[in-house]
A and B are shown apart, each in its own frame.
Chain A
Amino acid sequence: MFDSLSDRFDGIFTRLRGKGSLTAADVDEVLREIRLALLEADVNLTVVKSMLGRIREQAVGEDLSKALNPALQVKKIVLEQLTETLGGETLRIAYASKPPTVILMAGLQGSGKTTNSAKLARWFRAQGRNPLLVGADLQRPAAVAQLRTLADQVGVPVYSAPDDVVAGGQGDPVDVARGAVEEARRLGRDVVIVDTAGRLAIDAELMEQVRQISAEVSPDYTFLVIDAMTGQDAVTVAESFHSTLGLDAVILTKLDGDARGGAALSVKEVVGRPIAFASTGEKLDDFDLFHPDRLAGRILGEGDLATLIEKAEQAFEQEEAEEAAARLLEGTFTFDDFLDQMQAIKKMGPISGVMAMLPGIPKEVRDVEIEDSHIARIEGIIHSMTPAERIKPDIIDNSRRDRIARGSGQSASDVSQLVSQFKQMRQMMQQMGGNRFAKKKAKKAKKGKKGGGRVTPKGAAKIDKKAFALPTREEMEARLPQGGGFGGGLPGGPSGGFGSNG
């Protein structure tokens, strides 16, 4: 895995700590690390250079030497710059006054046009629209068949050339696109999504073809579908599609991998069009509006708390989660709570994915591979406990331990390890919950109930900010017993605590 920008900064700022002021050379060193982080995230070199220029300007203006924590200060500047570059104007779909609203999907081969056409159709349906999908990819074998299958799943009709024409490779995508718009009018479909064949940006012939399709249907919106894993070439691709078609927005796909997605930044900077949607999984509902602040953190390897919170909201029963959280922080968390909460966490996707969204997680912890099978084993052990044991793990003596081990098919040492770790975890949580956090919760809860009401996008943004204001890594560290960083500060586990990643 790449180091996050925090990891990179750690080294520099430890060395710089105690220095009264930052020299120009110090700032250069910091900028070099930022440069590396951006390049590793696949941000285009040209874009990196202009970003660095802006960051330098701001960093110099802020007089870092006076900052209490220069590392945080610089990170904030970088995040702000990234968010600003990525964000800015957001896309608001203005539906055509004379329907249908036509949307053209363009991109390289394999970027995910067909899948995302269907996802977009699903999104429009959810907005109360009646989309029509158009299979204008007559190039790739079975592309239309793929679109039909996906369209079935989202309940949207497909218009394309007849099957035998498609199979024979005789169809003309320009004809199909033209026919589709007429068909949509006839059927009263108010959104038309045209899936086109993937093409290389430098293939003049095919670029001319997509230009013709565009000229034929005069799309209200042209979306460039681009893979989050794209490297330096993203800029060339975006530029040439933009000059041929005039892009309106970008759809960023395959964000569910571990690619940093620097390509999005490059594209945004080069064509100046917003990233409207992001696709974050294989399921058709893994598709949503794009949030620039979240990607900014990700490009720097800093986690994505906002998405986490949103996922948590969907996965957890509010009351129950709140109670569990309170018990966790009070130290009265039981194995039963643990089981319940695990069920909810599982709904949020693989644990490792959830972890990746958390900011300020030490590298050692973040790199732990948590397979679902591990969790299944833990659950197996807990299931073999009596209710009393689950509430009060202290009563587990050797004979109880052996019984649990037999019941769950795990070894006795596995059981004792789990129990002792559970206690440690409980203790750690309690320390963290301590005073401030619990109080904050009470206060918020009260406010929230009074407030209620409608939530505007603006309101949501405010909440995101608050989320980032929750305990930072530094605060967590401060709360831990032995001080020296999150990892070292933990009470050593039976098999040696942190670092011994067994």
Chain B
Amino acid sequence: MSSPLILIAIGIVLIAVAAAAVLLTHSDGKGEALDPPESRRVGTALKDRPVTSYPSDSASDDSSAGGLLVEDAPTDSPDLGVPDGDADGDLLERDRIDEEFERIIEEERPTFSGRLGRLRGVFSGYVGSILSRSSIDEETWEELEEAMLRADVGVNVTTELLESLRADVKKRGLTTPQELLDALKVEMKSRLAGPTELRFAAEKPTIWLFVGVNGVGKTTTIGKVGRRLTDDGLTVTMAAGDTFRAAAAEQLGTWAERCGADLVRGAEGGDPSSVIFDAVASAAASGKDVVLADTAGRLHTKGNLMEELAKVRRVADKGAGEVTEVLLVIDAVTGQNGLEQARKFAESTAVTGVVLTKLDGSAKGGVVLPIRSELDIPIKLVGLGESALQLVDFDADAFVEALFESVD
């Protein structure tokens, strides 16, 4: 039954509402001052759009058809865009992809630490200053704390780490700043380390589900993971489970096309569970190895959307194959809210790992520390750049070293 607090809580809401009601009399029309009047009907504006707009694209066409659409990999569907629409698209298509990836294919798949260069600088300023002193003093501790807070590690973990470090200093008699830094690195590495392997199901198809808040890069991550898998010779089906965001399926479709994966999509606004279920069925029927299931971005505070996600997870497991990974995608720029995100997503979908995206920016992604140490969710993949090859396995050692590395 409902919690005994619910009625009380509702009662409190009612009081507030009572307060609002009291104020209502006094504030007629205030709503208008703050809120624009209701906009006019959409239809009228559609007339003056000879410009360039093409009101209904394929997405809405599908929704009127209602059904599911399976697009085979080397599709020549016009809206997914082969550049010059040539008939023998297959060859051209490959050319285009090659061109696109040329600049990075030239190199080896980049190493984690090699790509982390930009992470230097946060800690390094502090590190230089810390190392320049002859002993460990209060300022040393303050600077360490600042460095960690600025990397979004968060107050709790920072305090914890520094306290255990202080104990360490006493116990092991550390005296130089260098020893101190080394001890901190060891501690951070051991906290962050964890399995990075992405597991496969015993029986095909393996299902990997991607979840996260809006705008973290779920769809892009799926594209990149798809590319990795197909490069390794595996066959992939992508499930366009984001039926909410406009044109999300098109975006995934572009990626599917790029890496030669199938795409299964449903109607915009349709039920994501059924799209993913159908994708699994389709993958099973055609003997595909892996299903990469996209989901709509959602804020972890929205109970109904989180329930929907839990259902997606359950339904995905019902057909052939098995969900072996639920990957939570987190943007490196995220602050302390990332921990709450991880907590809530883990509750509803039993997250198996974190993908940290956009680490090629100036953000440090330190929030993975509390996620790893407080929720025990391993960090599995890291996005270090725009191209597919720049999605690499997480490497705790390299991550920590890069944080501390000084600029040469």
Cα–Cα distance between A160 and B247 once the two chains are bound (Å): 16
Pick from B39, B80, B155: contact of A122, CB below 8 A.
Answer: B39
A445 contacts B54, CB within 8 Å? Answer: no
Mark B15-54 against chain A: 1 for CB-CB distance below 8 A, else 0: 1111111111111111111111111111111101111111
Stretch at the interface among A76-84, A357-365, A388-396: A357-365
B contact set with A: CB distance below 8 Å: 1-46, 48-57, 59-60, 78-85, 100, 118, 146, 149-152, 154-155, 213-217, 220, 244-248, 250-251, 253-255, 268, 299-304, 331, 333-338, 340-341, 358, 360-364, 366-367
Task: Tell me if A91 is interfacial: C-beta within 8 Å of chain B.
Answer: no
B149 contacts A353, CB within 8 Å? Answer: no
B4 contacts A495, CB within 8 Å? Answer: yes
Pick from A227, A230, A328, A455: contact of B15, CB below 8 A.
Answer: A328
B9 contacts A324, CB within 8 Å? Answer: no
13 new A-B contacts, CB < 8 A, other than A158-B53, A254-B215, A428-B11, are: A40-B154, A132-B51, A145-B57, A146-B251, A164-B81, A164-B83, A229-B331, A233-B152, A325-B21, A425-B10, A444-B22, A456-B33, A459-B33
A314 contacts B146, CB within 8 Å? Answer: no
Least distance between B45 CB and chain A CB atoms (Å): 4
- Near B by CB (< 8 A), chain A positions 137-158 give 140-143, 145-158
Cα–Cα distance between A423 and B107 once the two chains are bound (Å): 73
Least distance between A386 CB and chain B CB atoms (Å): 21
B81 contacts A168, CB within 8 Å? Answer: yes
Supposing A155-B40, A463-B27, A494-B4 touch, asked if A230 and B33 sit within 8 A by C-beta, the answer is no
A375: which B residues are within 8 A, CB to CB? 6, 10
Cα–Cα distance between A233 and B151 once the two chains are bound (Å): 8
The chain B residue sitting closest to A48, CB to CB, is B149
B60: which A residues are within 8 A, CB to CB? 149, 152
Cα–Cα distance between A341 and B305 once the two chains are bound (Å): 24
Pick from B84, B247, B337, B362: contact of A146, CB below 8 A.
Answer: B247
Supposing A233-B363, A313-B31 touch, asked if A254 and B79 sit within 8 A by C-beta, the answer is no
A456: which B residues are within 8 A, CB to CB? 33
- Near B by CB (< 8 A), chain A positions 146-178 give 146-160, 162-164, 166-170
The chain A residue sitting closest to B118, CB to CB, is A202
B216 contacts A110, CB within 8 Å? Answer: yes
B30 contacts A167, CB within 8 Å? Answer: no
B304: which A residues are within 8 A, CB to CB? 350, 372
Task: Tell me if A221 is interfacial: C-beta within 8 Å of chain B.
Answer: no
B79: which A residues are within 8 A, CB to CB? 145, 163, 167
Pick from B23, B28, B146, B360: contact of A455, CB below 8 A.
Answer: B28
Task: Tell me if A93 is interfacial: C-beta within 8 Å of chain B.
Answer: no
Cα–Cα distance between A463 and B44 once the two chains are bound (Å): 37
A232 contacts B149, CB within 8 Å? Answer: yes
A45: which B residues are within 8 A, CB to CB? 146, 149-150
Cα–Cα distance between A111 and B213 once the two chains are bound (Å): 11
Least distance between B95 CB and chain A CB atoms (Å): 12
A167: which B residues are within 8 A, CB to CB? 79-83, 254
Cα–Cα distance between A109 and B333 once the two chains are bound (Å): 10
Mark A376-402 against chain B: 1 for CB-CB distance below 8 A, else 0: 011000000000000000000000000
Cα–Cα distance between A414 and B7 once the two chains are bound (Å): 12
Size class of A's contact patch? Answer: 35 or more
A309 contacts B19, CB within 8 Å? Answer: yes
B34 contacts A160, CB within 8 Å? Answer: no
A63: which B residues are within 8 A, CB to CB? none
Supposing A42-B337, A148-B57, A316-B17 touch, asked if A126 and B38 sit within 8 A by C-beta, the answer is yes
A–B Cβ pairs within 8 angstroms, 7 of them? A110-B216, A125-B45, A141-B251, A164-B78, A230-B333, A313-B30, A358-B12
A342: which B residues are within 8 A, CB to CB? 10
B27: which A residues are within 8 A, CB to CB? 313, 448, 455, 459-460, 463
Cα–Cα distance between A413 and B1 once the two chains are bound (Å): 9
Which 9 A-B pairs have CB atoms at the shortest separation, nearest pair first? A167-B81, A231-B335, A110-B215, A126-B36, A325-B18, A42-B335, A149-B246, A448-B25, A168-B83
B334 contacts A231, CB within 8 Å? Answer: yes
Least distance between A219 CB and chain B CB atoms (Å): 19
The chain B residue sitting closest to A118, CB to CB, is B246
Mark A299-332 against chain B: 1 for CB-CB distance below 8 A, else 0: 0000001001110111010100110111011000
A344: which B residues are within 8 A, CB to CB? 17
Cα–Cα distance between A426 and B26 once the two chains are bound (Å): 26
A328 contacts B9, CB within 8 Å? Answer: no
Cα–Cα distance between A352 and B13 once the two chains are bound (Å): 10
Pick the most buried of A152, A169, A471, A497: most chain B CB atoms within 10 A of its CB.
A152
A364: which B residues are within 8 A, CB to CB? 5
Cα–Cα distance between A417 and B215 once the two chains are bound (Å): 43
B19: which A residues are within 8 A, CB to CB? 305, 309, 325, 467, 470-471
Cα–Cα distance between A372 and B305 once the two chains are bound (Å): 12
Task: Tell me if A289 is interfacial: C-beta within 8 Å of chain B.
Answer: yes
Least distance between A33 CB and chain B CB atoms (Å): 11
A157 contacts B14, CB within 8 Å? Answer: no
Cα–Cα distance between A227 and B361 once the two chains are bound (Å): 15
A232 contacts B335, CB within 8 Å? Answer: yes
A111 contacts B16, CB within 8 Å? Answer: no
Task: Tell me if A451 is interfacial: C-beta within 8 Å of chain B.
Answer: yes
